[in-house]
Chains A and B, each alone.
Chain A
Amino acid sequence: MTGIGAIHSPGQAEAAESQHETLLEVKNLKMHFPIKTGVLQRVTGHVKAVDGVSFAVKKGETIGIVGESGCGKSTMGRSIIRLYEPTGGEILYNGKDIAGLPEKQLRPLIRREIQMVFQDPNASLNPRKSLGSALAEPMKAHGLYESRQERIERIEKLLDLVGLHRSVINNYPHEFSGGQRQRIGIARALVLNPELVIADEAVSALDVSVQAQIINLLEDLQEKLGLTYIFISHDLSVVRHISDRVGVMYLGKLVELSDKEALYEEPLHPYTQALLSAIPVIKKDGTEERERIVLKGDLPSPSSPPPGCIFHTRCPYKMPMCETIVPEFREAAPGRQVACHLYGEPPF
């Protein structure tokens, strides 16, 4: 949009383009945490929690990110919202790179536009703040809804929106159930009218019945408010349910990114295949028997990822080249990207 942006007035342009355009684009994002050891606590290595991830999020869609524990999902989410300073790569939000911006410049920009819903409904609320003050605080911080009355109205609207009773405005977190707390977490994420919401395991800690309530709530909110979601979860069923597109992460990298139907119908990457086959399903009459691929071994350490294809140590289809050559993350079919030598020759 840079070239065109110079021609017409920015405000209009943004409004017009954002309807169909990319809201967020992550390019080769890297987040390495130093490991300090030895006599002098020198940095002897890095945990490559996120190691070169690229994808784009369109306005209004839900992109799901799945992967096993420790593969870097949370780190990626937190890097995007700039809780970390990424080691490398670009994060283009509405075309502007926010990867290296200092906090001061982030505040007016993404601190209002991008929000996060956290995993643990107990830990993500300040136990010493009542619901009302927790929700009013960001408004004050950004100078929105200046009068007290306005703020109360806003809070009440938010409570309606997430399905909480208005009378609880003065209650403290410990007085709510897990599901209600997660609703508060969502309400807080919505206070500033964000564009993009990153939900990191937002329903994992909840009971199934409550989990369903929250998933439904998230869907309703998206519809009502036109939100864009990055939905991080290790639960493939939940991700399938809520996402439009799904990315699969393994050891800090995206190994497959694809439209939901295609991915679940016909997974390309051997890891995705194994992952899907491993999910226990409720068998009803007519449910087809699936063959289970049981992977050998455990996830390698992100501080010393294997050379070549990161998955080759556990891959049932390993070829000699996999041990040395890093497969590119490329389009293997329309709308489908995969990082695997099996799909070297497009079109597949």
Chain B
Amino acid sequence: MSAYIIRRSLMAIPLLFIITIISFAMMRMAPGDPTALMMDPMIKQENLTAYKESYGLNDNVVVQYGRWLGNMVQGNFGESLIRQGVPVKDLILARLPNTLLLMLVSTIIAFLISIPLGVYSATRRNSKTDYAITFISFLGIATPSFWIGLMLIMVLSVHLGWFPIGGVANIGEPFSIWDRLHHLILPAFVLATADMAGLTRYSRSSMLDVLRQDYIRTAKANGFRERTVIFRHGLRNALIPIITIFGLMLPSFIGGSVIIESVFAWPGIGLLFMDAAFQRDYPVIMAVVVIAAALVVIGNLLADILYAVFDPRIEY
């Protein structure tokens, strides 16, 4: 098992390498550079050159890449071009916990809601409830998540005032779990919706698949009640492929956080990324992209390990 984990981690290295090259290359294709933003009428031309020089923007591209990669390997993502003097690492460290929290909670929501729904749907196949669940999942797939988010804000926050409009916590108040939850619940739920729909469909078909298996028939023939059959004999088997799906879902999940963070003013790396992208803050963009990809890789690693834990047939 540990050999497997090591192998998977090693496999991630060339992966991340390719990722860094792609992201760096993309940045360099960009027209316009960050100094364009500082078009202050009162800037002196020589100051501009010096400014570029101080950030190494005048160097050869390969040199810039090498320098960046070398630093990054040591945990140094460079300094923000916009936020002078602030290490990118600090920016990311300040934001990452928020994103991770959001993703964790919404993953939990997604799984907690969609798996039971899918399982229920599968066991009541072709019933009215099944059709209803199926239709709602399709709706969930087809509705842009930002739209759901905006609507919820309009109705629940602005009109009814039940939830705050954005942010992670009330400013200036002492830390309280309830306050954090209060802020978290809408964005986490909306981020969960898109994948929830797919996940429900997937757990349904996964459960249906399991219910067709011979060992389910065995369990039934042994006189176990339907509930026991489904939960004790079926569920764990049905969960195994769902774990893999989690790994596959992860990129879109992290990608989706950009939108959700924008909608809910959630100060995570998605929002950081959006700002950086608009401002061409290369070091930040590249760091976020690499970290997001690393998150995906780690998520997949976790999924694989979980898979191995859940499925005794897999031996490494």
- Which A residue's beta carbon lies closest to that of B316? A37
Q: Does B10 sit within 8 A of A, measured CB to CB?
A: yes
Report Cα–Cα, A38/B6, bound state, in Å: 9
Point out the residues of chain B lying under 8 angstroms from A41, CB to CB.
Answer: 7
Point out the residues of chain B lying under 8 angstroms from A39, CB to CB.
Answer: 3, 6-7, 10
B238 to chain A minimum Cβ distance, whole angstroms, is 27
Interface string of B1-31 (1 = CB under 8 A from A): 0010011001000000000000000000000
Q: Does A4 sit within 8 A of B, measured CB to CB?
A: no
Q: Does A40 sit within 8 A of B, measured CB to CB?
A: yes
- Which A residue's beta carbon lies closest to that of B6? A39
Report Cα–Cα, A70/B7, bound state, in Å: 30
B261 to chain A minimum Cβ distance, whole angstroms, is 38
Query: Which of A38, A39, A40, A41 gathers most chain B CB within 10 Å?
Result: A39
Point out the residues of chain A lying under 8 angstroms from B7, CB to CB.
Answer: 38-41
Number of A residues with CB within 8 Å of any CB on chain B: 4
Interface string of A33-58 (1 = CB under 8 A from B): 00000111100000000000000000
- Which A residue's beta carbon lies closest to that of B8? A39
- Which B residue's beta carbon lies closest to that of A39? B7
A244 to chain B minimum Cβ distance, whole angstroms, is 40
B51 to chain A minimum Cβ distance, whole angstroms, is 47
B38 to chain A minimum Cβ distance, whole angstroms, is 49
Question: Which residues of chain A from 98 to 142 have any CB-CB distance to chain B below 8 Å in the complex?
Answer: none
Point out the residues of chain A lying under 8 angstroms from B3, CB to CB.
Answer: 38-39
Report Cα–Cα, A41/B7, bound state, in Å: 9
B301 to chain A minimum Cβ distance, whole angstroms, is 14
Point out the residues of chain B lying under 8 angstroms from A38, CB to CB.
Answer: 3, 7
B4 to chain A minimum Cβ distance, whole angstroms, is 8
Report Cα–Cα, A40/B3, bound state, in Å: 10
Report Cα–Cα, A39/B316, bound state, in Å: 10
Report Cα–Cα, A41/B3, bound state, in Å: 11
Question: Which residues of chain A from 156 to 188 have any CB-CB distance to chain B below 8 Å in the complex?
Answer: none
Point out the residues of chain B lying under 8 angstroms from A40, CB to CB.
Answer: 7
A62 to chain B minimum Cβ distance, whole angstroms, is 37
Report Cα–Cα, A41/B10, bound state, in Å: 12
- Which B residue's beta carbon lies closest to that of A38? B3
Point out the residues of chain A lying under 8 angstroms from B10, CB to CB.
Answer: 39
A247 to chain B minimum Cβ distance, whole angstroms, is 34
Point out the residues of chain A lying under 8 angstroms from B6, CB to CB.
Answer: 39
- Which B residue's beta carbon lies closest to that of A40? B7
- Which A residue's beta carbon lies closest to that of B4? A39
Report Cα–Cα, A41/B6, bound state, in Å: 12
B69 to chain A minimum Cβ distance, whole angstroms, is 24
A225 to chain B minimum Cβ distance, whole angstroms, is 43
B91 to chain A minimum Cβ distance, whole angstroms, is 35
Report Cα–Cα, A40/B13, bound state, in Å: 13
Question: Which residues of chain A from 1 to 47 have any CB-CB distance to chain B below 8 Å in the complex?
Answer: 38-41
Report Cα–Cα, A40/B6, bound state, in Å: 10
Report Cα–Cα, A54/B72, bound state, in Å: 61
Report Cα–Cα, A38/B8, bound state, in Å: 11
B316 to chain A minimum Cβ distance, whole angstroms, is 8
- Which B residue's beta carbon lies closest to that of A41? B7
Query: Which of B6, B7, B10 gathers most chain A CB within 10 Å?
Result: B7
Report Cα–Cα, A32/B29, bound state, in Å: 50
B2 to chain A minimum Cβ distance, whole angstroms, is 10
A195 to chain B minimum Cβ distance, whole angstroms, is 43
B192 to chain A minimum Cβ distance, whole angstroms, is 36
B127 to chain A minimum Cβ distance, whole angstroms, is 31
A274 to chain B minimum Cβ distance, whole angstroms, is 30
A303 to chain B minimum Cβ distance, whole angstroms, is 14
- Which A residue's beta carbon lies closest to that of B9? A39
Report Cα–Cα, A38/B316, bound state, in Å: 8
B9 to chain A minimum Cβ distance, whole angstroms, is 10
Report Cα–Cα, A268/B10, bound state, in Å: 54
Report Cα–Cα, A247/B3, bound state, in Å: 43
A-B CB proximity, top 8 nearest: A39-B7, A39-B6, A39-B3, A38-B3, A39-B10, A38-B7, A40-B7, A41-B7
Residues of A within 8 A of B (CB): 38-41
A/B interface sample: 8 pairs, CB < 8 A? A38-B3, A38-B7, A39-B3, A39-B6, A39-B7, A39-B10, A40-B7, A41-B7
5 additional A-B pairs beyond A38-B3, A39-B6, A40-B7, beta carbons within 8 Å, are A38-B7, A39-B3, A39-B7, A39-B10, A41-B7
